[in-house]
Structures are given as structure tokens and as C-alpha cells.
Structure 1
């Protein structure tokens, strides 16, 4: 049975449901992403499904022609030499992208019974799938749509915690430097929407202003930072604005429950974080010309259990590193995303071997010579983002 990957724009879902019924009645196995949530893991799954398919079916419409995700899916299928079947869901513009204009486009609509026969004929004329290239070509980067889970946070009426606000910045700021103009514009739009919230912490508002995004005049008057950060700041007479962009606060209990599900452990209730050394309040670097982080760093990271992290860093720029979690075991690679604004490095962690999950890392150098480490990744089991954090020290440092 030939396996078909179906690429489509969300606006065309009714047509796609009809298409799936027709394909299955013809004896084909179909796959589409309607059952998946957003996240980098979602995008990796899509790329793997395209690689495993026998035919790439692209539902062509005005909406799909404007979809970054659809364009990148087609790019990947073409790079893998997959047979491509374009299906027109309606009238199309005269000018089509080269990837489609050189192919025969089969008309398909739910109102035409003949569409099923045209579909069967088109599939029958396609050549068999070739073996995928070895090694694989460079995979297309995930479109901004994989960050759509952040939209719910940005638009929610309930107050956002400091950790939630930091996560929005950490995940969206690298997209501002994307080579894809549409992705960069999309990231800026989401951050501009975020800036209109009236519960922004002072350091978050300051970070947005550094990006050229003005926050509301009332920003910076958000809820107090999570205890014991607020207590420490109050006793020292320090305002929230002095805490800096690196103030990650405490891990919420819900934010660490799924750590072992993707890092190799169980589902026990996380320990109270107030006694954990991972919840110190790091200060933001004071310079835009950060000192080099080149060298070997190690430390404990905290989730449902404590794990050792070892990173051999080459600070470039851009920063890169080989990373291991020996107790799992797991081997990973770090690659810097965007520039080092204010000394903070935003890093993507990809998995080379072991049960780790791809994640987004924030590295914040501290005045005492350590690095504040924070990692956000998507747990398929929990169907939400998880966060772990810790402090890394340079090997050989006193």
C-alpha cells in the first residue's frame, strides 16, 4: 500500500477531509498533521513522515501558496526526490512558484464526482518513490507556526508569571534574526502583541524596548516575582527592574513534571524547588560585549531528578558545543540562534543519541563566573512545554 503525505493549509480542512475519504477508498494510506500539536518535535515528525512517504500530495490553494509551512514541506519532499502530486482545490493565480509551475496540477474539488477518477489516474501515473539521499540534505527550519502554542500565552487574560514571560522572549527573540522575512515579521508581530500586556515585569519590558518594541507605559508593574526572589529583593531594597533579564525565578511545579518523560525517568511529583540550588536569581550581564564561554562546563540540572550536564563549548561566534547527560546517557549538540544580546546566548539543542528531546536553551553568564542554564522543550507525553534549569561552572574554576 502506497503511503501518502498530505500537505495543506488549515483553511482548506473541509476539502482535505473529502480528499482523505477518496484516497482511502482507493486503497491508499494517508497521513496529515491534524492530530499533532505545535512544537519543534511536531516539525521533526512532519519531516520524518515526508521522508517515509511514497507520494507527497500538496493541496494547492491561495492559502497554501501563502503558507510558509506548506512551502517548506514541498521543498523537503523535492530534496528527497519524492513523487509530488499537486491537487488544485479551486481557481489558482496565473503565476505559480517554479516548484509547482513545472508540474501537472490535477483539479480536485468536493463538488465534482469526476475528481475522484482524476485523482486515481494521476496517482497511477506517478513513478515509484526513489530511496532517500544518503546523507540526507539539510532539512528546512521549522516555520514560525511551530511557535503558535505561545499565542495562547500572549493573549490569555490571566496574569503571566515571570518564567512564562521569559519563555516567550527566549523562544521568539531568535526568530527576529530569521533569514525568512515572513518568519521575522511574524515574530515581531507576536512580540508587539505581547508588549501590550499590562502585567509585564520591568526587566521583560526593558528587553522588549532593546528590541525596538515599546511596551505599555504601565509595563513593569506586574505581579511580584515568585518567592523567595521577591522576598530577597524586598529585604535588600532592590526594585524588580534591577533583577535583569536573567531573573528566571522558581520552577513552577507544573513546569518540571514531564522532565523524565523525555529525559529518561518517571512521572513522580517534583520536589519543592525552594531548597534547590537551581533556583538562584541570576543577574543579567552588564555588557553587550560578553566574555568568551569557550571551555568545558558542567553542573547539575533540576527537574524530576538531578542530572549532570557536561558541555564542551566553542564560543565562536556563534557558540557551538558538544553536550552530554552521562546519567541517561544522552549526547547532544548546541548551536547558537541569533546574536548574543546583552551577553545572553540563545541556543538550540539537537539530539545526536539517547532519549533527550530537542530544546531551546538560554545561557546567561553571571558575575561570579558561572552560567545560568535554562532549557525549554516539548513533552509529547504531556503535550505541553517543559522547563529545566541549573547552574554551570567552568571546569578548573575555583
Structure 2
């Protein structure tokens, strides 16, 4: 489907009826059906079935839900989109089901019997009533049960009635409204006007979202869903940026282009990932949540294939941090500690030579000999306010720890010319 248009608010909510169960009844008209190949027994497995020449075949859940909802809403017929068959095994074709006579009509005019078999009786469900020739379980009277899920409906242009998308299709549509691309190309959903347009026929139908929640709960549910969807994309980006095999070439190139002292060059001789970081780790989740809050500022980067760690103008950048050896383990596990700041900020550098000067006693010991090595920490920093203060030359000043993530420990080796 082409890119979906996003919408800022829903124009209204349609409240759905509870789901009904279906069961077989002695009063239902389900004697064995006849066809050109002979007589076959009715199916007994719960579901919505249609009669082929030789066997009963089960509808997919999405199509079965449309038929059930059509019966419950008293419709004369429903339309099934994307029914796969031998002619269109991938994209499927459009079928109609006459709910009065319970017959399916194919695009070529073939009629097939449709049958609903439910599990309410076997499970000890409530008494059933007969409606449109089908056994329909009465809705539960208790309101203490779980609320029905968020639902998406579409209007049938031929009947004017509303048909419900399946749960999986509803999740896809709501997810697609907040993403940029989709592999489908059959319809376009415009969530601003709440319409769906078939790209092949140009037919436009209305779309509604039915939700049993009140306004505040809807806002909370939508906000939570949007945050979860943002995080999934950001997890992938952070994992790529903190991978040692991807970060090392960038860091190595940067270090080798920098001079520590006249006649002295530097090399990165080892790169070790922060073993404390993983999904669910508070430090990791805190940084991803910060990125999610700045999603509008990151959208261009994500659309262009992600963030390049070698781009100094990117809002996300790899930076070095020098600290005495006793501090490194704590910083890797818990991040920077604001209570230990001496000037109200954390300082990083894009130049490893600058950060080496802050390694304390380790530096005074190793520099007494030639060919020494020092360990530095590498952070990802989000250079956006309010967490980011300024970048002056190669020094990056950060105000809030939520905008920092320690990802690597690197060994920088001095090598004389």
C-alpha cells in the first residue's frame, strides 16, 4: 500500500457490539447438501465454512469475522475482499455472501453454500436464537468481563452497511497510519478524512474506528501504541550504532587523523561492547525513550536509511570520554552520575587525544614508557536541547544524562612516528 497519511485526531468513535459466539442447533437447517459429486456431511469443527464441489472449506479469520458481524448487524449481504482462489492465489478476488440464503457468489457467478458452526453449545454457552437461518448465541449479560479490543470498520459501498476488519487487519491499519511504507498496493487509507480508496477501481469508502474506551483512555492507548512503535525502529538504530564491528572503522579513522603530540599518532587496538546494555536495561530504555520523544527530529535520518556515525553534523554522534580506571565500570553500568559533576555538565570530545588527558593516574603511569595504551569510553549522545548544551570545537557539553548512552570501551594505543 502506498504511504499512509497520518492524522492528528479522530473525528469520532463508533462503539461496537460485543462479539457473539455461534453454535450448532437442532433447529438449524443443516441437512447434508447435494452437489454434482454427491453427498457429504456437514462440518463439525467450529468456524465459518463454504461448500466446494467435494469438501467443506474454512474461511480465513478475517472473512469469517465479516460474515459473523454482518449477521449480527442484520445485513442482507456482505462483501469479502481478497479471497484467495486458483485464479488469484496471492492477492485474491472479491466475493459476496448472501446472508439471507447463506450463499457465496464468486466473480464468475458460481454459488456456494455457506455454513456457520460454533462452539458455544459444546462449551456450555448461553442459549441460542435463530437469525437468518443461523444459530446465534445471545450476547453475555455480564459487563464485568474484558472490554472488546480496538476495532476498525469499513463501509460496504454496495449495501451501505459497516463491516469490521479482523483483529490482525485492524492492527496493521493502525500501525500503518504511523509508519512510512507498506508492501501492499491495493488500497489507500486516509486517516485525515477516514476514507479508503481502492487503487485499482477508484472506489472510495468510509472508515471508522470503534473503541469501547472513553476519551482519556483512548488518548493513553494511542500514545502508548505510538511510543511502542517508535521504540521498535529506534531499537534497531541504536543496535546498529553500538555494534563494535560498525563503530570501530569510524573510530579508527577519526583517531588516526588526530595528533596527540608532535610526531605521535594514535590507533584503536581493541573495542569492547558494554555488556550491561540490552533491551530492558534501565540505562538502555532511558536513552531509547529520549530518542522516541524527539522522533520528529529523527524522522529524516530514519527515512534516509538511518544515522551515519561518521557525520559530525548528525544529531546523534559517537564521542569519547576519558576517566580514571576506577570509574569506568560504574559508568558503563549506570551511566554518568550528575551528583559528581563539578561544573553542572558532562564533557565529551570527538578527539580521543583530548579525552586521554582526563584518564588520571592511568595516564601518568603509562606515559612514562614508549608505546603506551589508554582505555577510553565511547558514548552515543543526542545533540538536541534540553539535554545538549553546546559543541565548541571538538568538545561536546551535555546537561542531561538521559541524552547519553555509554556503548563501548576502546583501547587507544600511542605509536611514535
TM-score of the superposed pair, with normalisation by structure 1? 0.25
- Rg larger for: 2
TM-score of the superposed pair, with normalisation by structure 2? 0.24
Q: Which has the higher helix share?
A: 1
* Higher RCO (C-alpha under 8 Å, 6+ residues apart): 2
